[in-house]
Amino acid sequence: MRCWVLTLFYLALCLWSTTLPFKICGFNVQAFGEAKASNTRVMEILIKILARCDLSLIQEVRDSKGVAIPSLVRSLNRFDKSYSYSYLESKRLGKKSYKEQKNVVQLKDHYLYPEPEDGGANDTFSRHPFIVRVHSPATLVKDFVLVGHHTCPKHAMKEIDELYGVFQEISKKWKTQNVMFLGDLNAGCTYITVKGWRSIRLRNDPKFNWLIGDDADTTVREKSHCAYDRIIIHGKVLNSGIVPGSAKPFNFKTEFRLSEEEALEVSDHYPVEVDLKPSHRYFLRNEL
Q: Are 36 and 237 in contact (CB under 8 A)?
A: no
Paired sense of beta strands 179-184 and 109-112, if any: unpaired
Separation CA 135–CA 147 (nearest Å): 14
Q: Buried b vs exposed e over 177-190: b needs ≥16 C-beta within 10 Å?
A: bbbbbbbbbbbbee
Catalytic residue among 110, 150, 234, 269: 150
The number of helix segments (H) and strand segments (E) in the chain equals: 10, 13
In single-letter form, the type of residue at position 103 comes to: N
Whole-angstrom distance between the N-terminal and C-terminal Cα of the chain?
53
Separation CA 153–CA 146 (nearest Å): 21
> Among this protein's residues, is 225 annotated catalytic?
no
Catalytic residue among 100, 159, 162, 273: 100
SS3 269: strand
> Among this protein's residues, is 269 annotated catalytic?
no
**C-alpha 58, offset from chain centre:** 6
Closest to 144 measured CA to CA, from 180, 114, 120 = 180
In single-letter form, the type of residue at position 56 comes to: S
In single-letter form, the type of residue at position 69 comes to: I
Q: Are 54 and 89 in contact (CB under 8 A)?
A: no
**C-alpha 86, offset from chain centre:** 16
SS3 135: strand
Active site positions, annotated = 100, 150
